[in-house]
Amino acid sequence: PSADLIKPKLAPLNEGGSELLNKTVACLQEENEKLKTRLKTLETQATAALDEKSKLEKSLKDLQMIQGDQKTNANQDITELENKVAALKCQFEKTLNDSTANQKFLEENLVTTKHDLLKVQDQLSTAEKELEKKFQQTAAYRNMKEILTKKNEQIKDLRKKLSK
């Protein structure tokens, strides 16, 4: 008797079977709805991915066409730049030759000017010597020289006295 109280009794199969079956069907339908929703989401994502793929393929084709055009333009630009460089090189060589001729002329002109300057300096030096000679021969120069010599001696004497 005490063992019967502890063990639960199983319900007969006929009584709870339909209820269990209904619960199982409801769970399966719920799971089916979830799967349908998931399937719709995946279909939407797959469609979006396909659309994106087609857009990217179109963009890739456009880029390839642009790159082809750019290569053609780049080749034209390179040719133009090479022509400009050649023209600039010719112009530089011409300018260099002109500068060399101009430099030789300036060097010759500088040498001539230097000789003229030396002649003028020599003439100036000679004139200064003659003027100095004439000035020294004047009486005013000799008097001034004597006065300055006396003043210089007086200053020396004053310094000696002051230092003592």
Within-domain flag for 116: yes
Q: In terms of Cα–Cα distance, which of 66, 45, 67, 41 is closest to 53?
A: 45
User: Does a structural domain hold residue 2?
Assistant: no
* Segments forming the whole domain that contains residue 134: 19-163
Asked, for residue 109, whether it belongs to a domain, the answer is yes
Tokens of 163: 């230092």
- Lowest-confidence region among 18-22, 136-140, 147-151: 136-140
Instruction: Tell whether 142 is covered by a domain.
Output: yes
Number of domains in the chain: 1
Q: How far is CA 159 from CA 17, 83, 88, 130, 162, in A?
A: 146, 86, 78, 38, 5
**pTM exceeds 0.75, yes or no:** no
pLDDT of residue 158: 94
22, 34, 53 from 57: Cα distances, Å: 52, 34, 6
What pLDDT, on a 0 to 100 scale, did the predictor assign at position 17?
61
Tokens of 122: 């020599």
What is the average per-residue pLDDT within 85-91? Answer: 93
Please identify which residue in the block is written with the tokens 């030789």: 104
Structural domain includes residue 111: yes
pLDDT digits (tens, 9 = 90+) for 36-63: 999 999 999 999 999 999 999 999 999 9
